[in-house]
Amino acid sequence: MAGRGIRTILLVTLVALGSAWPAEAQEAGSEAASESASESASASESASEADAASESASETEADELSEPGPALDLGDEPDPGRAPDPAPAEGLQPGEHPPLPTEPPPVPVPDLDAERESFWGLPRWHIAGVVDLGFLFLRPKFYFAYGTPHETFIALEVDPLISGQGVGAYGGLRGQIPWGSLRVGARYFFTFTRSFLFAMDQFDHLQVRDRSGPPSRYLSLEAQLDLNVPIGPLNIVSEITGTYVTLVEDGLFAFEESLHVILDPPWVWSAMLGLRVRFGDAEEFYIQPSGEVVHLVERNEVVVRVGLRAGVRMWEDLEVRLLAMPAIISPDSLGAAGGDTFLLGIHWRWATDPFDAPSSEEPSEAILGP
């Protein structure tokens, strides 16, 4: 009995121990599994945080690369071998460049009128002249003047008179501007082929050449106003002259050489009006229809001339001129002597100290310095 009881006690004890052990093992396994799951979740969270941090770092690096960073500080001391950087233009930030031009600069167009006006140079004291030369006539003029030659000046004028009929001289004062001139002076003429004429109502070309009377020599006092006003391609040209003839005996008439009329001294006046038409690439050609009236005061007669003036400007100082102004109304029958029937010649202008513009191929002092 005692042995059976001991065996029963041992059996019960073993059963109890066997039922208790699996529960503890399950609790331990459950705890280990929980810890393993927790560790796995923590690892997943750590991996997610690492990925987020990596993406944030990549975005930060991209932003830093897209934005210009501050200039490197190379020190306060400048490099002695390097030229200083130019100052930025007004309205531009350092490092910015001015915008490039979108259109080419305009090409300057030469002004022919300005070049023409500057041909004779600057105002100065000078000696200038005009020579009209043609078949059987020579008409030189000399100016001792101050101003721009042949444009704007005031001068003492001296004109020697040389022709097939005689010799003489004119002297006086002249003032000129680009669109007109005024002169006053005296003219003395001594003729080889004419005499003073006895008073008659009408004369012809034979009587003009008669040398049976006193030799013709006279002094005329003259004042003349010339106008040459440009209006587009046209010029209005006019000339008004008043003449007082003296040194002629009473009762005698005289043939006045400059006006080509026979007058009863002392008074005679004339007026001319023309319309000049300029044409050509540089307006070097012109044609000027003109009319002229001469009033013989003491004879109470008029002479009317109608004709044409024309010219070609070869250079700035040289022209070829044509003049045809015959008389169509006159109390006398003088033929070719009664006007400038046909004159063809050259008109040459000159002046001392011509303007010498610097050549474009030579550098000027303003560029090179003194």
Residues 6+ apart with CB under 8 A from 269: 240, 241, 242, 243, 294, 295, 297
Predicted confidence (pLDDT) per residue in 266-284, tens digit: 999 999 999 999 999 989 9
Fold classification of 113-351 is Porin (2.40.160)
Predicted confidence (pLDDT) per residue in 102-126, tens digit: 666 676 665 555 444 458 999 999 9
Rounded to an integer, what distance in angstroms lies between the CA atom of residue 344 and that of residue 137? 10
Rounded to an integer, what distance in angstroms lies between the CA atom of residue 222 and that of residue 348? 24
> Which pLDDT does position 142 carry in this prediction?
97
Higher pLDDT among residues 20 and 262, named by residue: 262
Mean pLDDT of all residues in the chain? Answer: 79
How do beta strands 215-231 and 197-198 pair? unpaired
Enter the tokens of residue 348.
């040459």
Please give the share of the chain, as a percent, with pLDDT higher than 90: 52
Domain extents for the chain? 113-351
Buried b (16+ CB within 10 A) or exposed e, 100-136: eeeeeeeeeeeeeeeeeeebbbeebebebbbbbebee
Q: Are 180 and 310 in contact (CB under 8 A)?
A: no
For residue 368, pLDDT beyond 60: no
